Amino acid sequence: MRPVTPRGFRDVLPAEAAEREVLTLRLSDAFAAWGYERIETPVVERLDALEAAAGPLEGTAFRLVDLDGHLLALRPDLTVPIARLVSSRLADVAGPVRFRYAGEAFREHESLRGQARQFTQVGVELVGACGPEADAEVIAVLADALRTVGFERFTVAVGSVEVFNAVVAAAGMPESWGADVLAAAHERNFVELQRLADLPGVAETAARALREVPRIRGGREAIARCSDVASACGCDATLGALDETFALLEAAGVHESVMVDFSVMRSFDYYTGIVIEAYAPGLGLPIGGGGRYDGVLEAFGAPRPAAGFALGLERLSIGLLEQGVDVPVRRLDAVLGGPAAEALSAAARLREAGWRVAISSRAGRELVAEADERGAIEALFARDGRVVRLDRSGEPALPLEDPAPYPPSTSWAEGSER
């Protein structure tokens, strides 16, 4: 048979894998610079544990049954597993705790939608802290990370689910109406929201807020505009906190890429406060998102506030490609030929000096061709205790300095440290 991967799963070959490695490292460094510690959780979780926090996952999670008859699921994100971990093994730690992660997540998709079923999430969770300071920190880390990986232009949209909840509560309508409103907001169906707002019996203030709030977006001044139409619905405290968050973002110097948008909704309904989405110009899908999910740890019996975000590594790569940003991948320094014993000892000396060296059994022109093919900077040949560079025609040219110089892939001659 000719083997294939299951639909929506794929292999990652060296060129792409190298870029993904660099991106992951840079993001991890950016998160670590804020004091976030690396953490790992299993790829498989108990389905009931995930659903306790995230609601029904039918159609979203990959499910499996183990020999004990337990229903398991491949994690659809890393937020809930980390919340599970914090609420069990770290329940006694005072906190706040700051965790970062990079790992695969899995989601089911119908066929013929062109969607990947495995993707990589890189993100942070800040557990045990709340209020504008914590919200602003999470947003600032996100903006920092996007700048670090090379995005010159991006937008972080910040909204709050509390505003919508307040409007629904102030409408004086039955619960089913509220559920319809939230469903329409989730589906981003403005036409349906309009219809629900126009129904008889909806309090005038709530109807007006329902029509206008999802359309409000902009800088910090948008919060004031939202306050104008919605403060009668009793969400002043929420908007006040959001305004404070934005003041802190200004202090952190990241406000220019952040905007307020009250129509932002995320696909999981565990969010309780701010919701965040990040966009790269020209991409029709968000490159990341997150928000505050204070209810999740409560569902696990250890109530604590929490917020975080995840970036999709695959979408990040596409976004960078679209902006023409090269991900700087360190190349192979040299391919080294020569009698096996000589080549081995010469390569060992070079590696000690920091070189990346691949040994080859080829010589002359063929060795140069191999170096080209593998993207190596030098073609070297070891003989009689010396290492010489080969020229384009495969003839010995300049001998390599002894002791070995800095690896060419890291020297200033290559432009910058690579």
Partner 1 sequence: MIATSRGAADRRLRIAVPKGALLEGSVRLLEGAGLDTGALANPGRQLIITTDEVEYVIAKPTDVPIYVAYGGADCGVAGKDVLVEAALEVVELVDLHFGGCRFVVAGLEDAGDMDERYGHLGVLRVATKYPNIAQAHFDARGIQVELVKLNGNIELAPLIGIADVVVDITATGTTLKQNRLKIIEDVLPSTARFVGNPVAVRTDPRVTALADALSELSVES
* Residues in touch with partner 1 (CB under 8 A): 113-115, 153, 155, 157, 187-192, 194, 215, 217, 261, 263-264, 277, 279, 281-286, 315, 318, 321-323
Residue (283 or 302) nearer to partner 1, CB:
283
Q: Cα-flanking dihedrals φ and ψ of residue 417, to 5°?
A: -65, 125
Q: Are strands 217-218 and 258-261 parallel, antiparallel or unpaired?
A: antiparallel
Residue (132 or 286) nearer to partner 1, CB:
286
Neighbours of 48 (CB within 10 A): 11
Residue (20 or 315) nearer to partner 1, CB:
315
Helix (H, G, I), strand (E, B) or coil at 128: coil
Place of tokens 């602003």: 136
Task: Please list the residues that pair with 279 across neighbouring strands.
Answer: 155
Q: In what order do the strands lie in the sheet with 357-359?
A: 357-359, 334-337, 378-383, 386-390, 396-399
Q: How far is the CB of 197 from partner 1 (least distance, A)?
A: 13
Helix (H, G, I), strand (E, B) or coil at 346: helix
Q: How far is the CB of 62 from partner 1 (least distance, A)?
A: 19
Residue (38 or 188) nearer to partner 1, CB:
188
Q: How far is the CB of 397 from partner 1 (least distance, A)?
A: 42
As a whole number of Å, the CA-based R_g of the chain is 27
Q: How far is the CB of 193 from partner 1 (least distance, A)?
A: 9
Q: How far is the CB of 290 from partner 1 (least distance, A)?
A: 16
Q: Cα-flanking dihedrals φ and ψ of residue 20, to 5°?
A: -65, -35
Residue (249 or 306) nearer to partner 1, CB:
249
Contact 99, 105 (CB under 8 A): no
Neighbours of 302 (CB within 10 A): 16
Residue (70 or 186) nearer to partner 1, CB:
186
Q: How far is the CB of 164 from partner 1 (least distance, A)?
A: 15
Residue (103 or 319) nearer to partner 1, CB:
319
Of 310, 309, 311, 306, which is closest to residue 97 (Cα–Cα)? 306
Burial 173-199 (b: 16+ CB within 10 A, else e): beeebbebbbebbeeeeeeebeebbee
Residue (81 or 312) nearer to partner 1, CB:
312
Contact 184, 211 (CB under 8 A): no
- Max alpha carbon distance in the chain (Å)? 95
Q: How far is the CB of 82 from partner 1 (least distance, A)?
A: 26
Q: Which residues contact 63 (CB under 8 A, 6 or more apart)?
A: 47, 57, 71, 72, 73
Q: How far is the CB of 416 from partner 1 (least distance, A)?
A: 26
